[in-house]
Each structure stands twice: as structure tokens, then as C-alpha cells.
Structure 1
Amino acid sequence: MKAKYSRYLLEFKRPSGTSRGVLHEKETFFLEVEDNGNKGIGECALFRGLSFDDRPDYEEKLQWLCEHINEDPIYLKEELKEFPSIWFGYEQAVLNLKHGNHLYFPGEFTEGKSAITINGLIWMGDIGYMEEQIQEKLDKGFHCIKLKIGVDWNSEHEILRKLRAKFSKDQLELRVDANGGFSKDEAKTVLKQLADLHIHSIEQPIKAGNWKDMAELCSETPTPIALDEELIGITDSLEKKKLLETIKPQYIILKPALVGGFASSDEWISLAEELNIGWWITSALESNIGLNAIAQYTFTKKNPMPQGLGTGSLFVNNFESSLELRNELLWFKKE
């Protein structure tokens, strides 16, 4: 096998707001492997400022992988433990080399027989922009909407209140993602206000790394809490188990690019299920290449909850997609 990598800059159609700031572009890397004329591609979906492997020697390690591509996968996995997004790209490239033609996990999904239900994601912005996005999702037939919150809680709370007045919890499932935007005391108030509005769950109400505070919130919360950034950088199996046993969240959210690919996601899912913790899978601003691989993987897990998969529509210079969104269902286009 031979391998090479390339860097690519995805440009947002419209700057996208989160509690960590406004995003204008998203850097990513592609790993291409070749064997006997067959090619496989994977996306090493680094997320600057968030990925555990956002470090100066990132490209050096990618080059190292290209030079050692024929080594035993167990050895490579150990060597790439500190570089979850590179391992994720390697997993995809090898699977794609094996199956070809945009395939990573062939099956009912890639045969166009079944689809994945996803939530509609609402980006932060002024009230007008957020309401415009919400209306667009409702018009498309979404029954589950996720809003980014944590910048201007009074306005965000008002939007949620209006939505709930219009749609009951049986008509519309509402999820929120705070990206660690609240203090512990603020979070306690917010959790109560969310419960009054029958909000499904809140992702990462406080900053990651505060296990004791998060455990306290999870033990008494009236609104289910989902861990997201909390999982980033936890690479050891025993440490994963310790985190879940200590915090006892209601849900965990798996972003394969950030937690170490499919192998690590499988491990998290297995631990969560043992501890009766719910979970779902979310993309993390990958291009259509990584998104396609995540969607195929997600389908194999057979989780009936709406999943947090993007649709690739945020970028002006994305690649042609194998995925197609019809209402709230994500389908694979066989052709």
C-alpha cells in the first residue's frame, strides 16, 4: 500500500455561530491509500480549538502514517492514540479501499433501502436568523430540532418558549447544546427552565473537565444531560469507564472524528449500554467524505433516536455528496 495526505479548507456559506465563537472556515485533511490500482479515501477531520490532536506536529504525524501505512493496524492504533482524527481517517481509508465506490459499511443503507432520521440543527445568531432557520426545518418536516444556546440565554429561552407554546413535546422534540457555555450555578437555573419547557436534553451545560460539578448536576437535574466535549481526549478504556461511572450522565454524544473513530465509538457505546446510559452519534463539520462514512457507520448501530448528522450543506466548496436529505430522513444515493 502507498499513502499520501492533503490539506483542504472548507468555506462556510454563512459564518456559523457557536458559544466558542463564529466559524468562517473549517480546515480538514484527506488520507488517500492505494493498493494494486485501487484507491481508498478517508477524512482526518481535525477541528481546530476543539480536537484533542490540535497540535503543532499534526501534519508530521500524518506524514509518519503515510510512511508506515503497511504496519500492523494494532501498532498504528497505539501510535495514533493521541491523534484521534488521524486514526479516524485511517479507518475510513482502509474500509473504502476494501469496498470501493463511496462505500465504508455496505448494507441496507447504501443499497438505498433504509434511511437515518436526523435532527435539524439551528445555528446561533440574532433572533430573526434563528427563527428563520427553525421555520425552514419545520417546513421540511423535522420532528426533532437542536438549538445552540449559551450566548444570550434570555433571547434563546424566549425562542424555546415560543416554540413550545406552538408545538407540544409529542409534536416536536427540542434538544439544546450549550457547548459548556454556563457556570454551574447558571446551569442549575437553566436546567429547571428547560424542564418546564419539556426539553429532551442539554449537551454539555458546563465546561468539560469538571467531573465533580457535572456529576452533581447529572444527579439532580430535571432535564437530561448529555456529555459531548467531556469525552474528547479520553483515550484509555479504564478512564472512559471511570468517567461514565463518576458523572453518570443521562446520555453521551459520539463524534467519531473527536473521540477516536469507529473503534473508540464502539467502545463508548458498549460502556454506556452496560451502565444504562443513552447515546447518539453526531458529525463535527466534516466534508461530505467524512460525513458519508459517519452516516454509513451510524446506520449499522440501529439506534432509533434522531441522530445528529449534518447534511454537508454549510460549505460553498464541499464535494459531491453520496447523501441526500428528504424531509428529516438521510438517504444514500446508490447512483
Structure 2
Amino acid sequence: MSDGASLAFEYRRFSLSLSSPMETATGTIDSRDGFLVRLVDRGDSSGSDDAEAAVGYGEATPLTGWTESVADCEAALERAREAFRTGGPSEALEAVDRQVAARHAVSLAVADLQATRESTPLYRYLCRGPMVGRVPVNATIDDGSPSETVAAVREAVGRGFDCCKLKVGVRDVEADVERIRRVREAVGPGVELRVDANEAWTYEEAETALETFADFDVSIVEQPLPAGALEGHAALRERADGVGIAIDEGVLEHGVDAICEANAADAVVLKPMALGGIDVARRMAAWVCELEVAPIVTTTIDGVVARTGAVHLAASIPDVPACGLATAKFLADDLGRDPVLLEKGSAVVPQAKGIGVDGVWDGR
């Protein structure tokens, strides 16, 4: 890649409305606010138009509890812009090393630019592997009554999803068990069911749920205990009868090394925005695969640039399990056209050079 002297670094702020308000641990949010980054590399043709230059896009969409604040993210991107001007990509990444959303944007833009210059899809730039046409995705089913949950799962299955992740933990364990029982009876054995408790249970509640979920062939229970309870997750995993344990929030608190050393998980959830970039997430995925722990790629409800980057990340992981990438539905508007088609429970991976998004800078 050309050094900072030939790179133009730009960023602009955006706000994307959610299709419905989202409850988080810190309150309700109704929009996703962040920054779109654009790198333009004119190489030796400093006078050429942007249309003739290689362009890389990145996205920083902070989320309280997972990343830095919007204000800290903007300050970090300003440091990155100065570092590009005086140094280059390495210096810019160092400038945002402690702000994960900002680093995600910069690293994604750098990778997109390099893949574009090499005329290869981003996933092949990440892994230098074979072509991948599709990656499996799961449908996310929000909390609801048993009848609402059954209807939502049936609708997802009708659209081709063969893996559904059901949110639990808002109501008592017995009520959630009844919801899962009704769903399994409705869809039969051919649909993979996962459950996401988002840290909601005590150890005793999680133990009760796991014993019953085994009867309904639930494949994974995600983050059943609070993030800090690493030993508790390890104990649950040891007692679980055929139900895998996945850790999501705990990845940020402990890191994948500690999770694997404690034998606390069958799977880890990798959110590139929260981890500081798809390059960081890709290294984590390769490491946990060696340790026979499954990497599940998902998003923090991001715009199309980060979301498509996550699809490329998943495509770079051999034999990746169903990932949480069908999240565009949570946004009422977006940065631009979505190049990823969801079809029969899979995300069709863009094969254009780079990420494969276009028209995002001007909102086309």
C-alpha cells in the first residue's frame, strides 16, 4: 500500500434510525450513531479523480457497554487522520489502538483499500483461501409469548432459515422452557435452536434450563451467566448434557485465551466492532478453531459497511457455524445499498473487489 503521503483520509458522522427501539443494559436506544471512514489512494496519480482511485471504506458505530463513546470515537478518528497525514496506516492504527470502534473503522478501511487494489474480495484478502459463495446465518427471535415465538420461528423457517436463536431471560425459566418446548413441537427436529440469555440467569436457573433444553435438542445456550462468571460457565459446561455453552459478553471481560484455558465454552461470539476490527477478530477465530472452540461472528447492529465486513470475516473462517449476520432488519435506514443477499438461511458473499459496498459516501 502507498504511504500516508498519497492517502486521503476522510470521515463523516451518520445516524441510522432503528426499526424499533432497542433495550440495552444502559437504557433504550432508537438510533445507531457513528462515523463512516473513507481512504482514497491515488498512488502516483495525485491529480486523478476519486472515480479513478482506489477507495477503502470503514465504519465506526460505538455502542455503550461494548465500545468507547461516540465523542471518544470521534477524537480517536481525528488522531488517526493526523497520523495518516504525517505517517501512514500503521501509525494511524497505533493512534486508535485503545478505541475499538475507531480502530475497527480504520482497520476495515485499510483492508478494503488493499483488497481493492489487489482486485480480490475482502474475505480472500483476509485468509488467502478458496472462493466462498455463502456463509450460514441464524435468525434472531426476540422475546415474546409462546404463540408469538412459535409464529416468529415459523416465519423465519419459511424464509429458509434452519437455525434460530431465541432470546430468553426476561421471564422466569419455567416460562422460557415452555416457549422452547412449543417451538420444538412446532418446527420438528430439522431446525437448529439456540438460546441467548444475555447474562440473565443465576447458576441454579441456568442449570435447570440446561437440563430441560437437552430434551428439546437445543444446540447452544449463549451467555447464560454474567460475564464475570468464568468458573460458573466452566462448571455448567461440564454438567451440560449435549447443550453447548457460548460466551459473548464474557469475551470482552476475559479474552479468548482465558476462556479456552478455563474450558468455559464450546463457542465464542466475535463482534468485530467491539474487538477492534475484523483483523483482530480473524486472529481470534483462527486461534479458537485450533483449540476446537467454534467462532460465531455477529454484529452490534451496525450499518452496511461494518455488517458486510462481518460477512467477509465469516467467509474467511473454514467451516464457520451459523452466524448472527441477518441484522439489517433492525435498521429503518442504512448508509447505502446492501450487497449481501440473504437466501435460504445463508448470506451470499459479495465477490466484487474489497468489501463490495458502493454509494455509501454520498448516501446513494
**TM-score when normalising by structure 2:** 0.80
Q: Give the Å deviation of 1:47.
A: 1.6
Letter in 2 for 1:245: E
Matched with 1:324 is 341
Q: Please, which moves more after superposition, 70-79 or 222-231?
A: 70-79
The separation in 2 between residues aligned to 1:42 and 1:99, in whole angstroms, is 13
Instruction: Give 3-state SS (helix, strand or coil) of 1:33's partner.
Output: strand
Q: Is 1:245 matched with 2:251?
A: no
Q: Is 1:92 matched with 2:108?
A: yes
Native 8 Å contact 1:3 1:32 kept in 2: yes
Candidates 122, 134, 137, aligned match of 1:104: 122
Native 8 Å contact 1:42 1:89 kept in 2: yes
Candidates 138, 141, 146, aligned match of 2:160: 141
Name the CA shift for 1:275/1:248 in 2 (closer, same or farther; >3 Å): farther
Q: Please, which moves more after superposition, 263-272 or 39-48?
A: 263-272
Native 8 Å contact 1:19 1:149 kept in 2: no
The separation in 1 between residues aligned to 2:145 and 2:18, in whole angstroms, is 18
Matches within 5 A, 1:219-258: 219-222=238-241, 223-232=243-252, 240-258=256-274
After superposition, what is the alpha-carbon deviation per residue over 1:154-179, rounded to whole angstroms, capped at 9, x for unaligned?
Answer: 4332221011123343x010001111
Name the CA shift for 1:82/1:129 in 2 (closer, same or farther; >3 Å): farther
After superposition, what is the alpha-carbon deviation per residue over 1:152-211, rounded to whole angstroms, capped at 9, x for unaligned?
Answer: 144332221011123343x01000111111122221212212222110001111111222
Letter in 2 for 1:57: D
Matched with 2:75 is 60
Q: Please, which moves more after superposition, 7-16 or 18-27?
A: 18-27
The separation in 2 between residues aligned to 1:179 and 1:24, in whole angstroms, is 20
Matched-pair identity in %: 22
After superposition, what is the alpha-carbon deviation per residue over 1:7-30, rounded to whole angstroms, capped at 9, x for unaligned?
Answer: 222212233456776542222221
Letter in 2 for 1:124: D
Candidates 159, 176, 188, aligned match of 2:179: 159
Q: Is 1:150 matched with 2:169?
A: yes
Instruction: Give 3-state SS (helix, strand or coil) of 1:69's partner.
Output: helix
Native 8 Å contact 1:20 1:179 kept in 2: no
Native 8 Å contact 2:244 2:266 kept in 1: yes
Matches within 5 A, 1:158-307: 158-169=178-189, 171-222=190-241, 223-232=243-252, 240-307=256-323
Native 8 Å contact 1:149 1:177 kept in 2: yes
Native 8 Å contact 1:17 1:123 kept in 2: no
Q: Give the Å deviation of 1:212.
A: 2.6
Q: Give the Å deviation of 1:280.
A: 1.9
Matches within 5 A, 1:2-151: 2-16=8-22, 22-36=28-42, 37=50, 38=53, 39-48=55-64, 50-54=65-69, 57-70=72-85, 71-100=87-116, 104-105=122-123, 114-127=133-146, 129-151=148-170
Native 8 Å contact 1:6 1:29 kept in 2: yes
Q: Give the Å deviation of 1:333.
A: 5.7
Native 8 Å contact 1:10 1:26 kept in 2: yes
Name the CA shift for 1:11/1:207 in 2 (closer, same or farther; >3 Å): same
Native 8 Å contact 1:112 1:332 kept in 2: no
Q: Give the Å deviation of 1:75.
A: 4.4
After superposition, what is the alpha-carbon deviation per residue over 1:253-278, rounded to whole angstroms, capped at 9, x for unaligned?
Answer: 11111122222213322332333222
Name the CA shift for 1:7/1:247 in 2 (closer, same or farther; >3 Å): farther
The separation in 2 between residues aligned to 1:129 and 1:15, in whole angstroms, is 19
Number of residues of Structure 1 aligned to a counterpart in Structure 2? 327
The separation in 1 between residues aligned to 2:142 and 2:183, in whole angstroms, is 16
The separation in 1 between residues aligned to 2:199 and 2:177, in whole angstroms, is 17
The separation in 2 between residues aligned to 1:247 and 1:228, in whole angstroms, is 15
The separation in 1 between residues aligned to 2:347 and 2:218, in whole angstroms, is 24
**TM-score when normalising by structure 1:** 0.86
The separation in 1 between residues aligned to 2:102 and 2:24, in whole angstroms, is 25
The separation in 1 between residues aligned to 2:320 and 2:256, in whole angstroms, is 24
Unaligned runs of 5+ residues in structure 2 are 1-6, 43-49, 353-364
The separation in 2 between residues aligned to 1:126 and 1:190, in whole angstroms, is 17
Please provide the CA RMSD for this pair.
2.8
Letter in 2 for 1:47: L
After superposition, what is the alpha-carbon deviation per residue over 1:105-162, rounded to whole angstroms, capped at 9, x for unaligned?
Answer: 358xxx9971112111112345554333222101112111111111014433222101
Unaligned runs of 5+ residues in structure 1 are none
Native 8 Å contact 2:16 2:331 kept in 1: yes
The separation in 1 between residues aligned to 2:177 and 2:26, in whole angstroms, is 19
The separation in 1 between residues aligned to 2:22 and 2:70, in whole angstroms, is 24
Q: Is 1:313 matched with 2:333?
A: no
